[in-house]
Amino acid sequence: MRLKALGHSGLRVSAVGLGCMNFGMMCDEDATRAIVAAALDCGINFFDVADMYGGPHGEAETLLGRALGARRREVILATKFGGQRDRRNPAAPGGGSPAYIARAVEDSLRRLGTDYIDLYQHHFPDADTPVEETLRALDDLITQGKVRHIGCSNYSAEQLKAAAGAARSSRTHSFVSAQNRYSLLCRDIERDLVPTAQGQQVGILPYFPLESGLLSGKYRSGEKPPADTRFGKWGGGSAFTSAQRWATVGELQAYGGKIGRSLLEIAIGWLAAQPFVSSVIAGVTRPEQVHANVQAAAWEPGAEELARIDALTAA
């Protein structure tokens, strides 16, 4: 497994990470243990979760903590705060305030069964709390040894710039990572967030790298998705599909056939090859998917292949 720099943190994370959003939702405790064991066996050292994953009581954090057990110190453990399960307004009220953060970190530490978090990420920007206050609260956690590094998620380029300026002015620790939606079918962050992050030595952590399975190769346009898949449980995956997206998937599969690569290899290999990407966060529901994702990341596309894939998917 290749290791890549996590921004300016000094940490090196596996090119493919394990996204733990399915724990407690689509994966029970036994399934979670099997997935975590497979990830560790494959050399994955980066595990990403959030306090809102798995249900209202942080079940995903609890299941992940139990599954890691005595091997917790072998991994780089990332979690998030400041989100809520409301699609219209996913940012928790006051989710960036010092009081909220003080409560949230203690809850996450308890559920994860650890005394420190390697990467603590602000899940959604809090419009009601100045970013200076959020950073000072996070800086205090680093001083206390409860958090090693801090990151953000779903921040815009302007918000990331503002946070960097606030960190310099207040002389606090700054974000080392930015977790945003990024895939071959969703490349809008390349216009502004990526250049901003590169200028600040902030690593990009893509979520939904396979667009909830659309880029995995297991779905076919016009066919009913298997009942045990996300699309099968979520009514066909309409939030991730469109005529244009299916057409692009078809073009990528056709190109993959010419070079002897699967759609999964193209989707993950292309992302892992981007110099600004620290780790591709891929969620799974079965151990065999962990192995498939790791194998896909082992493919390192050449310049000509990268250029062709880029041309097929450029916005």
- Euclidean distance between CA atoms 208 and 280, whole angstroms: 9
In eight-state DSSP terms, residue 129 is: S
- State which amino acid sits at residue 24: G
Q: 72: closest CA among 20, 116, 120, 16?
A: 116
Q: Which of 53, 100, 182, 219 is catalytic?
A: 53
Strands 117-122 and 147-153 come out as parallel
Other CB atoms closer than 10 Å to residue 92's CB: what's the count?
Answer: 21
Distance in angstroms between the alpha carbons of the first and the last residue of the chain:
30
- State which amino acid sits at residue 303: A
Catalytic residue check, 53: yes
- Maximum Cα interatomic distance, the chain, rounded to a whole number of Å: 56
Which residues lie below 8 Å from residue 52, measured CB to CB, with a gap of 6+? 58, 80, 83, 84, 85, 123
Q: Give catalytic residues, as residue numbers.
A: 53
